[in-house]
Structures are given as C-alpha cells and as structure tokens.
Amino acid sequence: KNEVEQSPQNLTAQEGEFITINCSYSVGISALHWLQQHPGGGIVSLFMLSSGKKKHGRLIATINIQEKHSSLHITASHPRDSAVYICAVRDRGSTLGRLYFGRGTQLTVWP
Amino acid sequence: NAGVTQTPKFQVLKTGQSMTLQCAQDMNHEYMSWYRQDPGMGLRLIHYSVGAGITDQGEVPNGYNVSRSTTEDFPLRLLSAAPSQTSVYFCASGTSGRYEQYFGPGTRLTVT
C-alpha cells in the first residue's frame, strides 16, 4: 500500500501545452511537497504547501486538504521542463513529520 | 554555502564488501536523513537523525548503519553489501521547525 499515489506515471506533451500532474494521499498531513528530479538525478524542491495555491513562474501547485489531493500545473510547457516530478507528503502523526513519496511522474516535452 | 554534499558519486562494490557513503551539510540543519531510490518505487527512508548523537530507523534500515557525531556529517555505512542494495542513495537535510528538505546530488551504488 502506498500512502501517496501520483498520476499519470508518464506524460508526453508538445511544447506550449498545459500540463497537469495529480497526487492523492491517504494520511493526515502537515505539508505537501512537489519535487523535480532532472536526468542526472538531482532533486530540487519546487513547492511546499499546506493549503490553497502557490505559483512560481509557469508552475502552479494547488492542494485540497479535505479531498486529500494536490495538483501541479505547468503552463506553456517547454522542453526544459522534462523531468520526473515527485509528490511527497509530511505525515502529521509521525515524529518530525516523516515524508512519504509518490513514485514520480516522468514528463517529456517535445519541441 | 555548498548545501548538501555527497561522496562518492558512483561506486561499485562486490558482495560482502563494506563501505561508507558520506554526507555533509553546511546549513546548520538539525535534521538529516538517508533515502534510497529504486526504479518504479518512491524514495524510501533508511535512517534519519534529529541532531548530533540522535539517530533512528526509517522504513528500510536493514543492512545499514548510521551515526551522527557532528551536526554537519551523517555517514551511511553498508556493513556487508548485497546486490539488493544496488540503488541510488540520497542524503537530505532540513530544520525541525521548517518542513523544507534539501537533497544532495545522490550516490549511484552497484553491488555485483
């Protein structure tokens, strides 16, 4: 059983398209993270949110605590957005809020 | 700031060998952790530490040891490497008050 489910697993888009990646979770959380992992492996944090919506450039993250669901949107996608996007939730019930990770969504954007 | 550094970047071991993966951070973070990443699976927590001298097990601790003698360093020791430990290992750090975590660049380990 995975506490965090992401969909889709793989996503291919044409440059300029609007992208949505979904994340559902089953535990009570104190925060949700969206991470980006580029080929070559480095992981960077894109967003951390506990309610509502955050925007950074062409990226928007939303969360619905009642429905235990979050989405990551990319507007006007570009080939440099090609990466694995990982959703992680911080368990409210565990010591220091342990992180549970989704399996990731592989996004490929073609020019 | 260098952030979170890991060495080595790549390592090949034979079954039964031991080694230590190094992790260091220069942000004075209390919280440090080790994860492994395997194909088709999410990152899984191996061990974590909430401060110097304090460590605890995560989800997949078997075959690994850790210690935290300083705030900066959190080495991961493989006692007797097995092919099942072939994986990419990430170290991360953060503060206990903030939820954000900073990841190292990873170590790709192959055990033959």
Q: Beta partners for B107?
A: B89
Say if the Cβ atoms of A33 and B99 lie within 8 Å: yes
Structural contact between residues A93 and A84, judged by C-beta atoms closer than 8 angstroms: no
Instruction: Supply the pLDDT for residue A95.
Output: 60
Per CB-CB distance under 8 Å, the chain A contacts of B96 are: 96
pLDDT digits (tens, 9 = 90+) for B6-22: 999 999 999 999 999 99
Size of interface A-B (CB pairs under 8 A): 52
Query: How many CA atoms does the CB half-sphere of B98 hold within 13 Å?
Result: 10
Comparing alpha-carbon positions, the chain B residue that sits nearest to A40 is B105
Q: Which of B31, B42, B100 sits opposite A96 (nearest CB)?
A: B31
Q: What is the mean pLDDT of chain A?
A: 92
Average pLDDT by stretches of 10, chain B with 112 residues: 91 97 95 92 90 91 96 96 96 78 94 96
Instruction: Supply the pLDDT for residue A2.
Output: 72
Per CB-CB distance under 8 Å, the chain A contacts of B58 are: 98
Could you tell me which residue, A96 or A86, shows the higher pLDDT?
A86
Instruction: Supply the pLDDT for residue B96.
Output: 67
Q: Which residues contact B57 (CB under 8 A, 6 or more apart)?
A: B47
